[in-house]
Amino acid sequence: MKSYKKGPHPRARGPDIRGAGNIMHRFANPNRFMRLSQRAVPWFAALTVVLLAAGLYLALVASPADYQQGETVRIMYVHVPSAWMAMFCYSGMAAAAAVGMIWKHPLADLAAKSTAPIGACFTFLALLTGSLWGKPMWGAWWVWDARLTSVLVLFFLYLGYIALNNAFDDPARGAKASSILVLVGFVNVPIIKFSVDWWNTLHQPASIARVEGPAIHASMLWPLLVMAAGFTTYYLWVLLVRMRGEIVAGKIRALRLRQVHGL
Amino acid sequence: MDSFSSFLNMGGHGGFVWPSFGITVLVLVVLLVTSLRSLKARESTLAKLRGGATETGRGEATREA
């Protein structure tokens, strides 16, 4: 009984890596995480509500119509932040998966697992709003070009990760197998980013993150940035809620195991 | 009222603009609500498991599970 309560987390054993590992293990304590996240959640919730309320007003009312695209340009304010978050979430998942594999950080695997459904939702939204924007502007719901296809692959990578992660009875084995998938699939992220430069496409090239500065007027840039900030705080909010859920689920699993073994 | 209907019309592209925003809000709200509800459900399960273990002793708790 003692061994269940005290001592390092079972996954925290293994090679003792000093230095970076030490600093990270200070934040690896799930109880500390539960305390910190409980305080952070209301702040992320409030920030999300304020930013998205302001962002939606700016996007739908205050910003001008485009001189070429007319009112359809407003789709950009949900499409572009969704696409950014789709890549951001996947990069975060890959980083968390790497930390989980190398340092056996007990929260890293939970962060990757909790990010996956959020990233999948953002990817779905990027594809769907892109389709709704493509029909009036390109005359097609879908084209099999490099940008659209690589984002579709990203969506399937998310679904594959979720399926593989849930395919094992032992969560640690599921985390390991799906971590490998997410790291191999990371090659897709630079392909998405540079697809508009490498191949001919209907999709427009990057207009914000450019060496020359954003190729977009401030009246449209600000609504876009406020929406993107709101999507980011939304992600952090839901991420913390889901990670808390995973930790509680782990405690339930441990308690049931103890009961089954009559401890 | 005229300005409101032209706002809804979105220069003839209301059928593309509004679903984009509507579905985005819907998906994000559903994901948030399911995440919060799953956390609440797990927290109450954990509280029950812990309560059962301390109040009724191990035997009861084992049978419950």
Domain boundaries, chain A: 40-260
Assess whether pLDDT exceeds 60 at residue A27: no
Q: Which pLDDT value is given to residue A28?
A: 62
Residue A26 pLDDT grade (very low, low, confident, very high; cuts 50, 70, 90): low
Closest residue, chain B, to A118 (C-alpha): B31
Under an 8 A CB cutoff, do A71 and B53 touch? no
Instruction: Count other Cβ atoms within 10 Å, centred on residue A47.
Output: 17
Q: Give the phi and the psi of residue A66 in degrees, each rounded to 5.
A: -80, 145
Q: Name the burial class of residue A225, with classes exposed (0-12), middle (13-18) and buried (19+) by CB atoms within 10 angstroms of its CB.
A: middle
CA triple B28-B34-B35, angle to 5 deg:
85
Assess whether pLDDT exceeds 90 at residue A11: no
Q: Which pLDDT value is given to residue A262?
A: 75
Structure tokens at A216: 């977009």
Burial A144-173 (b: 16+ CB within 10 A, else e): eebbbbbbeebbebbeebbebbeeeeebee
Q: Are the beta carbons of A41 and B39 closer than 8 angstroms?
A: no
CA distance A120 to B38: 18
| Residue B18 with chain A: CB contacts under 8 Å | none
Assess whether pLDDT exceeds 50 at residue A2: no
Residues facing A66 on adjacent strands: A70
From first to last of the 65 residues of chain B, give the pLDDT tens digit.
568 888 888 878 888 999 999 999 999 999 999 999 999 999 999 999 888 655 444 444 444 43
Assess whether pLDDT exceeds 80 at residue A15: no
Q: What kind and span of H or E run contains A204?
A: none
Q: Mutating which of B35, B44, B60, B64 best tests the A interface, going by the most A Cβ atoms within 10 A?
A: B35
Residues facing A70 on adjacent strands: A66
Using a CB–CB cutoff of 8 Å, tell me whether B39 touches chain A: yes
| ipTM for the predicted complex | 0.84
Assess whether pLDDT exceeds 60 at residue A133: yes
| Residue A259 with chain B: CB contacts under 8 Å | 49, 53, 58, 61-62, 65
Q: Which pLDDT value is given to residue A25?
A: 56
| Residue B14 with chain A: CB contacts under 8 Å | 71
Q: What kind and span of H or E run contains B13?
A: none
Q: Which pLDDT value is given to residue A151?
A: 95
**pLDDT tens by residue, A30-83:** 888 999 999 999 999 999 999 999 999 998 888 888 887 888 889 999 999 999
- CA distances A231 to A52, A80, A180, A236, B9, Å, are 8, 11, 27, 9, 26
Q: Please determine, looking at this structure, whether the domain spanning A40-260 carries the CATH number 3.30.70.
A: no
Q: Which pLDDT value is given to residue B59?
A: 42
Assess whether pLDDT exceeds 80 at residue A20: no
| Lowest-pLDDT choice from A80-89, A93-102, A141-150 | A141-150
| Residue B39 with chain A: CB contacts under 8 Å | 241-242, 244-245, 248
Under an 8 A CB cutoff, do B24 and A78 touch? yes
pTM here?
Answer: 0.85
| Lowest-pLDDT choice from A4-13, A45-54, A163-172 | A4-13
